[in-house]
Every structure is written in structure tokens, then in C-alpha cells.
Amino acid sequence: MSSAGVDKIFAGSIPKLYEEHMVPLIFQPYAEDLASRLASRTLSRVLEIAAGTGVVTRYLASMLPDDVSIVATDLNGPMLDMAADIGTSRPVEWRQADAMQLPFEEGEFDAVVCQFGTMFFPSKSKAFSEARRVLRAGGVLLFSVWDRIEENEFAHTVTTALESLFPRDPPRFMARTPHGYYDLALVEHDLQDGGFVSSVQVNTVAARSIAASARVPALAYCQGTPLRNEIEARDKSRLGEATDVAAEAIANRFGPGPVNGKIQAHIFAVER
């Protein structure tokens, strides 16, 4: 399978490990930030795409007025199933859907929200075009992407550490996909190709990724993301070893006890 195909597989034990470790490690602070950016807007219907295990959905449900309906979608069934099982503080509509071909009519939503999903779309401009199509006039597309991997210390440390384990063909999922769409000019170009002509607001937001030990981010990245698929494709028997190597590298850089690393992302907002 191509790297592009492997990058999208969130199956087996990945959804559970993703929710248990990756969400509190890197996604939760940005989920709260993203939801808060909608709180001041007048809304009646919100669409979330690439909802994953629902961390943004949970914040939307708790921070937006109860009369704002929320539709949360994801292409990946196992991730969406976990989101629905965890649930929200009030009812939302869970729906499996492809961001490249949204199953909604034109102008159905006041806002379309996507946290760290855009990087996985095969054609960003096509996905932006679909988001624009389902937005009402004056509606907003709000989404986040990770900055370059060097600005995200745990991801960079893990990726570099695995080069020693697989020197001929190092796993590059983190650099290639989650941290591969950080060029602001490219994103704005893709938005224009997708039909957005209004000015784009961009905020670069740094935060801290905190864990009780180096083992936590090592387990999160190596076993709770599609990086696991890359490791196992090279040698399935070495997943545990890869996790150990990553944990050792994080401990060497950040210390043997609780660890604290920088994370950084870009938040985009553009109106239809």
C-alpha cells in the first residue's frame, strides 16, 4: 500500500490509543481554542469534518448554545464509532462522510470546522470547495493545521529517533502528513482554488504538550497514530522496540520524569 493509503488507516487499537494518549497530549488545548472561536458568532447549524474521536465535538457541544445543531463527520468509521461511544454533553448528529464529497445541500451550515484533518485530504482545494459549497453566505470555515515538525518537539524527536532503527527507510508519517501542510502561502492558494475570495485570518498558536513520562508520548505517536502502520510495514515484530527507542530519545532530551514539549499550529478562518 502507498504511504498516502497507510496514512489514512486509523483502525485496530489505534483509535483507543489515540483517544487515551494523543488527545490529551496535543489535541485538547487546540480543540478548546477552536470551539471558543465560534462562541461569539450567531449560529444555527455547524458542521465538523474529520472529527476523529470527537474532542472538538465535545467542546462544541458544551460551549455553543443548546439550540445550535451540530453535525460531526469523519471518513473513518472506527474513529467516529469511538466518538459516538464517548458521547457529548448534548445530542449531536454523527455521520460518516468524505470531506471530498460532502453529503449535504448547498448553504446548509453557518460554520464548517476542522481540526488537524485538512492535511489528510487528497486534494485540499477540492475539500475547501466542498466546505464552501455547504456554507451559507457569510458563514465561516475554521480549521487548524500543524506547523512544521521542528516546531513540534515530541513529534520531531520521535521521527528522528526512528531513523536509527530503520536507517534505510525511516518512517516519515509525522513529517509527511500531520506536519506536511504548514506553508501559509500554499494553504491560502488552495483556499482560493477552492473558491474562497475573502481575506484569510491566520493565527499561529504555540502550546505545551505535557505528559507524566517519556513513555506516554512514545506510545502515543508510535502506536496511537498511522505511524504504527509504517513501523509494522517494515517489521511488525519491532513495534515495541520502536516505542522503546522513541521513549529513550524523549527522556534523553526532556528528562526522565514528567516531560514538557512545545507544540505549534496555524488556525485559519475565512468567510464564504
- pTM as predicted: 0.94
Tell me the fold of 3-271.
Rossmann fold (3.40.50)
Select from 206, 229, 85 the least CA-distant residue to 151.
206
What pLDDT is attached to residue 13?
65
Average pLDDT over residues 261-272: 98
- Per residue in 204-222, pLDDT (tens digit) is 999 999 999 999 999 999 9
What is the reported pLDDT for 14? 77
Query: Average pLDDT in the 33-46 region?
Result: 95
The domain locations on the chain are: 3-271
pLDDT in tens, 136-194: 999 999 999 999 999 999 999 999 999 999 999 999 999 999 999 999 999 999 999 99
pLDDT digits (tens, 9 = 90+) for 112-138: 999 999 999 999 999 999 999 999 999
**What is the DSSP secondary-structure string of 99-161?**
TTB-SS-TT-EEEEEEES-GGG-S-HHHHHHHHHHHEEEEEEEEEEEE--GGGSHHHHHHHHH
For residues 221 and 207, what is the distance between their CA atoms, to the nearest angstrom?
A: 18
With cut-offs at 50, 70 and 90, classify the pLDDT of residue 252.
very high
Non-local CB neighbours of 218 within 8 Å, separated by 6+ positions: 158, 243, 244, 246, 247, 250
Q: Using CA atoms, how far apart are residues 222 and 45, in angstroms rounded to an integer?
A: 37
Q: How far apart are CA 24 and CA 10, in angstroms?
A: 18
Per-residue pLDDT for 4 more than 70?
Answer: no
Report pLDDT for 9.
Answer: 54
pLDDT digits (tens, 9 = 90+) for 6-21: 555 555 667 888 899 9
176 Cβ contact partners less than 8 Å away, ≥ 6 residues apart: 3, 7
Task: Report the alpha-carbon distance of residue 261 to residue 248 in Å, rounded.
Answer: 15
Distance (Å) of CA 176 to CA 15, 25, 103: 20, 20, 29
pLDDT at position 12: 65
Is residue 136 within 8 Å of 112, Cβ to Cβ?
A: no
